[in-house]
């Protein structure tokens, strides 16, 4: 075969054109592959906590640095402003792409209305790396978020040195605790501190434990199955015992006016030998790396015991706390399956629940790991104490994790009113049962 000079020129020109076309297509493809994905995130963060500095620098900024093609637009909120914003986003149908969530409780709407994806398929075989207790089905009956940890919502923090200096010891029974009241009051001290101005605190950090001790999870299951009622004697007795804490001087009504984070300094300055809160409170007492200061310095942390409320008269379960899979992160269900945005969102959630990030949160006291085998040799004494707490005590329900918001909100308010002396246990039980009946009817 032979080619004329003109034919060769035409062929060469054609090849040049094809090269230009395919080269342009490849360039466009490369640009598409590297086009940044923007993720909106609603995050829960106490900006005043010592761990906030590392949370921002070592978790969020580290992810952005390692993933320049994923742009994060993050909104940090705390306590009621966070929950109110979540509900507002849900009602408006414009949830962020990734959001901080609870396994139930205040995040129930997200689960039950399937506003977040089932993450089990994305998690796949990686679930073997997590404690099985962390990955149980959540409020919607599926895995709506990946927990960053396991949570004990009831801990009694005890300043053992303070008690010893006053000639007192850690009480093992309710009667022993009650016997400390006149001695502590004579010294100008409160008995038990709580930052219970927000109504969830008493229910989550104290009353859920009382219910778990006195009637157990089985009784709550019976209520949910319409085989028992909140107005029955066993449940009313739990409210009556809670009332006795005020009658006996163990809890002060001042707790109900104390803002949640103000209690930290009160306990650190020895206004009382006892504090009741969740396990996460540890993080508020550790060293802030941005200032190198701690509310309770490491050399004083060894004086703090993490235990549970003493034995309650007539309790069915002993040495228990109230516990739940911890908070975590979910992904907006509206994000298309298999899309670049879903891949970016899952990459972020994978990082936020990774062993590396869980180690950071273990060190800052923010969360006890949900992954197996996460340890650190950089723990301050109180963080070490927290790590040992979980194996020492059994766990029962946190009520706002198993009851609908319409029901536990009535309970939360009722607990405040019992403490203030403006409602009786029987009245609160009746109101909670009414709220339960109305919620149940709305589900039919």
Cite the DSSP H helix spans in 302-366: 340-352, 355-364
Give the pLDDT score at 31.
Answer: 38
Element (H, E) at 288: strand 287-288
Beta bridge partners of 149: 369
Rg (CA), the chain: 27
The model's pTM is 0.87
β-strands 70-77, 37-44: how paired? Answer: parallel
DSSP secondary structure code for residue 229 in this structure: -
β-strands 293-294, 149-152: how paired? Answer: unpaired
Nearest to 62 by CA among 348, 422, 364: 348
- Quick: pLDDT tens for 341-367: 999 999 999 999 999 999 999 999 999
Binned at pLDDT 50, 70 and 90, residue 33 comes out as low
Question: Does residue 241 register a pLDDT over 60?
Answer: yes
Domains in the chain and their CATH numbers? 38-147+328-366 (3.40.190.10), 152-323+394-442 (3.40.190.10)
Binned at pLDDT 50, 70 and 90, residue 251 comes out as very high
Question: Does residue 29 register a pLDDT over 50?
Answer: no
CA pseudo-torsion sign 111, 115, 116, 120: positive
Give the pLDDT score at 390.
Answer: 86
Residue 275 exposure: Cα atoms within 13 Å on the Cβ side: 29
C-alpha to C-alpha distance for 273 and 40, rounded to whole angstroms: 43
Q: Do 99 and 41 form a contact (C-beta atoms < 8 A)? A: yes
* 236 Cβ contact partners less than 8 Å away, ≥ 6 residues apart: 230, 425, 426, 429
- Quick: pLDDT tens for 105-156: 889 999 999 999 999 999 999 999 998 889 988 999 999 999 999 899 999 9
DSSP secondary structure code for residue 24 in this structure: H
């Amino acid at each position: 075969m032979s080619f004329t000079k003109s034919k060769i020129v035409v062929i060469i020109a054609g090849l040049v054109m094809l090269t230009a076309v395919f080269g342009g297509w490849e360039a466009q493809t490369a640009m598409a592959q590297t086009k940044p994905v923007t993720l909106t995130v609603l995050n829960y963060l106490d900006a005043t906590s010592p761990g906030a500095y590392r949370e921002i620098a070592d978790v969020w900024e580290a992810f952005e640095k390692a993933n320049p093609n994923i742009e994060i637009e993050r909104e940090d909120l705390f306590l009621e402003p966070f929950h109110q914003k979540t509900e507002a986003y849900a009602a408006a149908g414009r949830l962020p792409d990734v959001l901080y969530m609870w396994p139930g409780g205040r995040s129930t709407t997200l689960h039950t209305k399937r506003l977040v994806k089932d993450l089990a398929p994305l998690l796949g075989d990686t679930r073997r790396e997590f404690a099985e207790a962390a990955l149980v089905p959540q409020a919607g009956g599926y895995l709506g978020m990946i927990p960053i940890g396991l949570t004990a919502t009831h801990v009694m923090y005890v300043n053992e040195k303070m008690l010893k200096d006053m000639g007192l010891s850690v009480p093992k029974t309710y009667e022993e605790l009650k016997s400390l009241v006149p001695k502590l009051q004579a010294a100008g001290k409160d008995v038990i501190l709580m930052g219970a101005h927000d109504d969830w605190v008493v229910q989550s950090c104290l009353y859920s434990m009382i219910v778990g001790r006195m009637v157990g999870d089985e009784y709550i299951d019976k209520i949910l199955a319409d085989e028992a009622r909140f107005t029955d004697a066993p449940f009313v007795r739990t409210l009556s015992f809670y009332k006795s804490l005020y009658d006996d001087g163990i809890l002060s009504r001042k707790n109900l006016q104390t803002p949640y984070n103000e209690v930290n300094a009160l306990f650190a300055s020895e206004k009382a030998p006892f504090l009741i809160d969740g396990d996460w409170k540890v993080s508020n007492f550790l060293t802030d790396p941005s200032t190198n200061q701690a509310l309770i310095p490491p050399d004083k942390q060894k004086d703090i015991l993490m235990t549970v409320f003493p034995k309650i008269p007539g309790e069915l379960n002993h040495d228990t706390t109230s516990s739940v899979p911890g908070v975590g992160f979910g992904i907006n269900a509206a994000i298309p399956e298999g899309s670049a945005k879903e891949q970016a969102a899952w990459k972020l959630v994978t990082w936020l629940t990774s062993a590396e990030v869980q180690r950071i949160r273990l060190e800052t006291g923010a969360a006890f790991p949900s992954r197996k085998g996460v340890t650190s040799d950089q723990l301050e004494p109180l963080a070490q104490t927290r790590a040992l707490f979980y194996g020492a005590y059994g766990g029962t329900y946190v009520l706002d994790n198993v009851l609908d918001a319409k029901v536990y909100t009535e309970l939360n308010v009722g607990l405040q009113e019992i403490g203030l002396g403006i409602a009786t246990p029987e009245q609160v039980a009746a109101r909670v049962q009414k709220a339960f009946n109305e919620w149940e009817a709305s589900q039919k």
